[in-house]
Structure 1
């Protein structure tokens, strides 16, 4: 029985507490609706700074906040910790893991994206990606343990393998990880070991395409390459990873005219990080709706699912084209989608036509390392120190909560003057690289 038949306000079920889900929830704060926000985790995560947790610059609470705390004053919302396992669009119902159903009048799926290994899912165990706090804590553990293992061994070949680091994927996440890792090796860990010199660590960024930061103008891409190389990162473009295992990885050459046998290179490396691809959350497969090759749901102009005007998809799970190009999977786009869905639900309730989604491009930003970044603001191109300060200001501005902004500013100010990264704590058993990180 629907909410209307019960004379109750319409029930809006929102799946996912990321940017799209949270912004839709907050946009409906003054509407006469009942909202249930469902997420597998109890927190909202500021993903653009996730690499800082992975590289020990920030702690998890600095970039995350409990959803219940964020929404504590919004009386029309209930937060539910759980995982959606089924969607019955005919009955207007979602099923949760462990039992229990929720009826809805309007449904928004905003469950984000996961890692994509292009059909090589066995690589995941040896080359973790970065999407969640668990991922970040696990990567941080791997990075710090690599130096510890190098310090403990007397075998030169084994030591070299522990001090070989590779980041696969030359997008913003890969560039940020590689640049920060080089900074840790050359500055943060200086004089802390007795048998190794951390500055001898080799950090390699591998990109199958012709250049890093392909979404940026070519001039900024080249500046990013030069800034990475000045930090000590070896940038390899036009090289594709063909295999990854516990002992290292194999490179081939991508592009026309390449000879994979002649160009193949085997590299002994115990730490490989994956930043090369994403796939939509598997939740989209629960809908009877067309999806693209990455699993994203192809939606109508108002972000509703074709044939189901009461079901919406937003964020990284939605496949949206604008001016012949896909809308990028970035935080500003997800926020705008969430706000658009709120307007669409409001229009549906009022019996009006829902507005079409239009993405307002806010520009591209990527940080490379200490005092190095690139910024593209609709033709205004910045790089180096000015770009770094702009990048810092934007990211601090959009953090959730005053405490988060203050803590991040203090930590970054300390890191700027001291080169130190305060979160260099290894949790779990020291003899296991793959131990599960703490909650």
Structure 2
């Protein structure tokens, strides 16, 4: 009987694993809760109305059409029976495996303040991005009709919690949208007077970057009108805003980008985990005591001399390719690679139009040069040619016109904590049809 390989998660790691196993004499099953692969690094541009979901999502079946040995299931995983070597699905089914690759990713952590989830939006899925977009655009529409100056100020105030790349990118795109794209679109309000607040508990934003680049990023945000608050913790979040340090900020939208927690793989396997819940793995990405079960990407804690590898797309892609080659070698009975080595090609963060910071191969870039490098890298990382062309066209049009082509309000405006309604969203259905 052919070996049975199960991959859980169709993110960067899962897709890279499946592609590395394309010619392996095995039966592969890829399982994900959605039917599409999402290019998460550009998800903030969907939230900011610069791109549509179709630009950064590709149907899994279309993406892996050439994998004749692979079937794709849209299902929810509830656990792993390591002793029986079976994967447990939420609907009660149990799928046997010989090799299991867990690439389930991570969600956002509220550091024990779970009540805040009801009032703060997070950005991990297309549903999240569309909900944020609806809330942002809806706030301007409501402000246009409001006669209460205090309420108008609240409706035109947007708070982002977390000074990492996601928080910086969100704050920059909201400020840019208000001050350029929407600047002349309203009669009763001036969107250029919007207040965008970026809150970071640490002493500087983008703490993973060298201090000069971190300072440069702060200056770029402030040039866009973003109010950057560092060294103060968020004390409360409610339906009408948040409290930072001792100050109350009334806001129409609160976006949370302050921390992540891994999916419960460690709990499924009763394995050792890091503080964020990521399961600790061996040098070959396998889980201690389970040589045929692997964890990659955000759900894995891979220790190095410099600390654990960061939760970045390149890490997941490289680990996925490594694990795929390792399993293929075992199936073929050939010598398998012994240990995974990450090749760090640099880190980047974009602040807005022609504004970015980057560390690439020892070079420290900022401004337009960094933005150009960021654009080229992200275009090449998109998984299919259609997405590259579509994103390039949108970016070029936006750069020359300051416009944003995805500003539709479709009537779908969920609140934080609402159940996803992906099937009801015309844009996502269109994205799937286009990709296929």
- Distance, in Å, in 1 between the alignment partners of 2:401 and 2:3 is 54
Contact 1:53/1:137 (<8 A) preserved: yes
Measure how far apart 1:322 and its partner are.
Answer: 1.1
Contact 1:127/1:274 (<8 A) preserved: yes
Secondary structure of the residue aligned to 2:233 is strand
Match of 2:360 in 1: 377
- Asked if 1:160 is matched to 2:142, the reply is no
Residue by residue over 1:47-67, the C-alpha shift from the partner in whole angstroms, topping out at 9 and shown as x without a partner, is 100000010100001001000
Higher RCO structure (Cα 8 Å, ≥6 apart):
2
Measure how far apart 1:283 and its partner are.
Answer: 3.6
Contact 1:51/1:136 (<8 A) preserved: yes
Contact 1:208/1:240 (<8 A) preserved: yes
Q: Aligned match of 2:48 in 55, 79, 83?
A: 55
Match of 2:380 in 1: 397
Secondary structure of the residue aligned to 1:95 is strand
Normalising by the residue count of structure 2, what TM-score does the alignment of the two structures yield?
Answer: 0.94
Measure how far apart 1:97 and its partner are.
Answer: 1.8
Secondary structure of the residue aligned to 2:270 is coil
Q: Aligned match of 1:79 in 72, 81, 105?
A: 72
Measure how far apart 1:11 and its partner are.
Answer: 0.6
Measure how far apart 1:321 and its partner are.
Answer: 1.2
Match of 2:117 in 1: 124
Match of 1:219 in 2: 212
Measure how far apart 1:224 and its partner are.
Answer: 0.4
- Asked if 1:239 is matched to 2:221, the reply is no
Normalising by the residue count of structure 1, what TM-score does the alignment of the two structures yield?
Answer: 0.93
Measure how far apart 1:148 and its partner are.
Answer: 1.1
Q: Aligned match of 2:257 in 272, 275, 300?
A: 275
Measure how far apart 1:429 and its partner are.
Answer: 5.9
Measure how far apart 1:266 and its partner are.
Answer: 1.0
Counting matched residue pairs gives 420
- Asked if 1:344 is matched to 2:323, the reply is no
Contact 1:128/1:273 (<8 A) preserved: yes
Residue by residue over 1:189-246, the C-alpha shift from the partner in whole angstroms, topping out at 9 and shown as x without a partner, is 0221111000000001111111111111111001101111111111111111010000
Gaps of 5+ in 2: 429-436
- Asked if 1:358 is matched to 2:341, the reply is yes
Measure how far apart 1:344 and its partner are.
Answer: 2.3
- Distance, in Å, in 1 between the alignment partners of 2:371 and 2:273 is 37
Match of 1:285 in 2: 267
Ranges of 4+ aligned residues in structure 1 off by more than 4 Å: 351-354, 432-437
Contact 1:319/1:326 (<8 A) preserved: yes
- C-alpha change, 1:186 and 1:284, in structure 2 (3 Å) is same
Match of 1:95 in 2: 88
CA RMSD in angstroms, aligned pairs only: 1.4
- Distance, in Å, in 1 between the alignment partners of 2:242 and 2:79 is 38
- Distance, in Å, in 1 between the alignment partners of 2:379 and 2:129 is 19
- Asked if 1:417 is matched to 2:392, the reply is no
Secondary structure of the residue aligned to 1:136 is helix
Match of 2:190 in 1: 197
Measure how far apart 1:351 and its partner are.
Answer: 6.6
1:163-174 equivalences in 2 (<5 Å): 163-174=156-167
Measure how far apart 1:125 and its partner are.
Answer: 1.9
Residue by residue over 1:1-48, the C-alpha shift from the partner in whole angstroms, topping out at 9 and shown as x without a partner, is xxxxxxx21110000000011101100111111110000000001110
Match of 2:131 in 1: 138
Residue by residue over 1:370-410, the C-alpha shift from the partner in whole angstroms, topping out at 9 and shown as x without a partner, is 11000101320111011111111111111111111111111
Gaps of 5+ in 1: 1-7, 253-263
Q: Aligned match of 1:331 in 277, 288, 313?
A: 313
Contact 2:266/2:272 (<8 A) preserved: no
- Distance, in Å, in 2 between the alignment partners of 1:191 and 1:53 is 22
Contact 1:141/1:433 (<8 A) preserved: no
- Distance, in Å, in 2 between the alignment partners of 1:152 and 1:303 is 55
- Distance, in Å, in 1 between the alignment partners of 2:330 and 2:67 is 22
- Distance, in Å, in 2 between the alignment partners of 1:106 and 1:324 is 30
Match of 1:5 in 2: none
Match of 1:266 in 2: 248
Contact 1:113/1:280 (<8 A) preserved: yes
Contact 1:54/1:136 (<8 A) preserved: yes
Measure how far apart 1:433 and its partner are.
Answer: 5.6
Contact 1:164/1:201 (<8 A) preserved: yes
Contact 1:110/1:313 (<8 A) preserved: yes
Secondary structure of the residue aligned to 1:56 is coil
1:305-320 equivalences in 2 (<5 Å): 305-320=287-302
Contact 1:129/1:274 (<8 A) preserved: yes
Measure how far apart 1:347 and its partner are.
Answer: 3.7
